[in-house]
Structure 1
Amino acid sequence: MRHLDLLNRTIQNLSAAFLAVMTVLVLVQVFFRYVLNDPLGATQELAIYCMAWVIMLGATIAVRHRTHIGVNFFVDRLPGAVQTTARWTGYLLVIGFFVILCKEGWTLTDRAMLQTSPSSGIPVGWVVLSIPLCSAIAVLYVVEQMLLDVRRGHDIDHGGK
């Protein structure tokens, strides 16, 4: 699990870096647009790309820390055995969702590499790559949560006890 801790810290740092770059790009865009009356096209585009990465990286962080409302809000209010069954069903559904997202995201990334963005000239696939990459990371985090539940004795054979 230490490797996943390192991965999560790296993701947090990358997310912070993309957020900082996005903020600077938006400030530069506002300055050029409203003060100099000469807007820059690439800054808006790059800020949107940074935002896409921040969202996807942030989603993996939320999955790792179980901070998404759908991850535990309702399950924690169920009785023991039903809670365990619901939790494991949820794990499997979430893994299925992220596997599909990863597979389809990779197909989209492959196609998007052939397209370049109009202002910056960056292959759009580098932006779309956030979908399959972060989906794969989310699968790792969900598997980690499943293993932690088994270690804590919350496996399906014990009825959550």
Structure 2
Amino acid sequence: MNTMLTRLSAVFSRLATLALWVAGIGLVAMTVAVAWQVYGRYVLGSTPRYTEALSIMLMAWFIFLGAAVGVRERYHLGFDVLLYFVPLRAKSVLRTISDVVVFAFGFGMVVYGGQLAALNWSVAIPTLGLPGFMSFLPIITGGVLICLFTIERLLQRFAGLDPDGDAALAEAVEN
């Protein structure tokens, strides 16, 4: 079981790295699009029409991909203050509850993002000429990644591993 989880973790690590690269490229591309929009408006006297819609779409991609990686790397928001005062076993239970809630949120992103994408399947984004469902792909993709990364952590915890490093931290505090 641990070998399978190690392989799964390696695959998810590569997936998270890929997501970060795509998010970073999206951030740079959005910066270029906004710079082009400003240049067009103030220097050329004509704002390119596609830059605003493109910037919003790129921003959605890097936000949702970055959020998913933040969930995997445990950089996302959380209420950790209570965890400093409870025993190690209680920390595991509280973190499991938190992971189940995060999974439910990611699952909701997939379901409701999918519904929004389906509703906009035949609509076109006017300035980009892309199908309307493309606006909701970042939500769905981010939700899928959040679910996968949360399942990974839950499987590790149920296998007796310490994905959160609580045992090592407790040992370091004792010494």
Contact 1:115 1:123 in 2 (8 A): yes
Change in Cα spacing, 1:33 to 1:153, as seen in structure 2 (3 Å) is closer
| CA displacement at 1:106 relative to structure 2 | 0.9
TM-score, normalisation: structure 2: 0.81
1:40 aligns with 2:44: no
Amino acid at match of 2:112: E
| CA displacement at 1:14 relative to structure 2 | 0.7
Aligned to 2:6: none
Aligned to 2:153: 145
CA displacement, residues 104-154 of structure 1 (integer Å, 9 cap, x when unaligned): 111111222221112111112112111112101111101111233343358
| CA displacement at 1:75 relative to structure 2 | 4.8
- Number of aligned residue pairs: give it: 155
Written as runs of structure 1 = structure 2, the 5 A alignment for 1:9-158 is 9-70=17-78, 73-80=80-87, 81-149=89-157, 150-152=159-161
Structure 1 stretches of 4+ moved >4 Å: none
Percent identity over the alignment is 26
TM-score, normalisation: structure 1: 0.87
Which moved further from structure 2: 43-52 or 91-100?
A: 91-100
Contact 1:102 1:136 in 2 (8 A): yes
CA displacement, residues 35-64 of structure 1 (integer Å, 9 cap, x when unaligned): 111111101110111001111111111001
Q: CA RMSD in A?
A: 2.0
| CA displacement at 1:82 relative to structure 2 | 2.9
Change in Cα spacing, 1:102 to 1:23, as seen in structure 2 (3 Å) is same
| CA displacement at 1:26 relative to structure 2 | 0.5
Name structure 2 gaps, 5 residues minimum.
1-8, 164-169, 171-175
In structure 2, the residue corresponding to 1:138 is in which secondary structure?
helix
